[in-house]
Structure 1
Amino acid sequence: MTVVSVSMPDELLERLDSFADEHGYTGRSEVVREASRNLLTEFQDKQLEDRELMGIVTVLFDFESTDVEHKMMHLRHDYEQLVISHVHNHVGDHYCMELFILEGSLEDISTFVGKIRATQDTLSIDYSVMPVDRIDGVV
């Protein structure tokens, strides 16, 4: 097995180690391998391929210490064909929440989510995807 070096903040590493201990993993490598497999397969659902999809992506970040808001604005403009609606809300004293409503292919939505995940300093990213034809009652 190949050994890979990964950089991450101390806080994330501590959370990773705690998670491994609490859930019975043999170590952080096992957690990272499982997380990597899950991330790489989450958009490979055959039932979603070749269908028009709706996606909802929620991003939380601290607006006082980062330029995430600026990066979200650029993503919104870069993917204006995919983003059919967008909401920006202030949460608490210094947090912002971006909500993106998307309509497009699995490939386009997964690319968009990947770009958001690659944005440094986001605190939380959550999303869901569903076929648009389910809204009409057709499965």
Structure 2
Amino acid sequence: MGRVVRFAVSIDEKLLEKFDQFIKERGYVSRSEAVRDLIRAALIEEDLREEDFAFGTLTLVYDHHQRELAERITEIQHGYLENIIATMHVHIDHHHCLETLAVKGKVKDLKELAGKILSLKGVKHGKLVFTGVEP
């Protein structure tokens, strides 16, 4: 780790209150620690190029009563077997399921996989999150 540098940030009072609540809920010991984590996360996403190899998760919530949706999701996943490490399926309620995929591969391929699944009719929400290890 390099030399620690202090800097000031101007922020709207209400936004700071929400940030402090975020810090408390996440168990951070200081604002600085939270800001460092947010910066690291943003830089990991920003530094990834389409041809880079990455790890991540694809999380989605969908209506399992949507006609043939579960089958289409499975069919898409079968086309990306080399990218999917593991999946977890959770029944949220009578209508909704949560699915999380641990993924690896070229950023371009992972974005393609996410786009195909998240654009399906009946997928309510989803997000692809990349992660990495700081050098």
Both structures adopt the same fold (TM-score exceeding 0.5): yes
Instruction: Give the TM-score normalised by the residue count of structure 1.
Output: 0.59
Q: 1:120 to 1:52 in 2, by over 3 A?
A: same
The residue aligned with 2:85 is 84
Query: Would you say how many aligned residue pairs link Structure 1 and Structure 2?
Result: 90
Taking the TM superposition and a 5 Å limit, the aligned residue runs for 1:1-139 are: 47-49=47-49, 50-131=51-132, 134=133, 138-139=134-135
Q: Distance in 2 between matches of 1:64 and 1:113?
A: 21
Identity %: 19
Q: Which runs of 4+ in 1 moved over 3 A?
A: none
Q: Deviations over 1:79-106 (max 9, x none)?
A: 0000111111111122111111100111
- Matched letter for residue 47 of structure 2: Q
Q: Distance in 1 between matches of 2:52 and 2:125?
A: 27
1:112 to partner: Cα distance: 0.7
1:46 to partner: Cα distance: 5.8
Larger radius of gyration: 2
The residue aligned with 1:23 is none
1:64 to partner: Cα distance: 1.9
Secondary structure, aligned partner of 2:94: coil
Q: Distance in 2 between matches of 1:123 and 1:91?
A: 13
Q: Distance in 2 between matches of 1:84 and 1:72?
A: 16
Gaps of 5+ in 2: 1-44
Secondary structure, aligned partner of 2:120: coil
Q: Distance in 2 between matches of 1:128 and 1:92?
A: 25
1:120 to partner: Cα distance: 1.4
Q: Deviations over 1:50-108 (max 9, x none)?
A: 43211201111111233221111111111000011111111112211111110011111
1:121 to partner: Cα distance: 1.5
Secondary structure, aligned partner of 1:66: coil
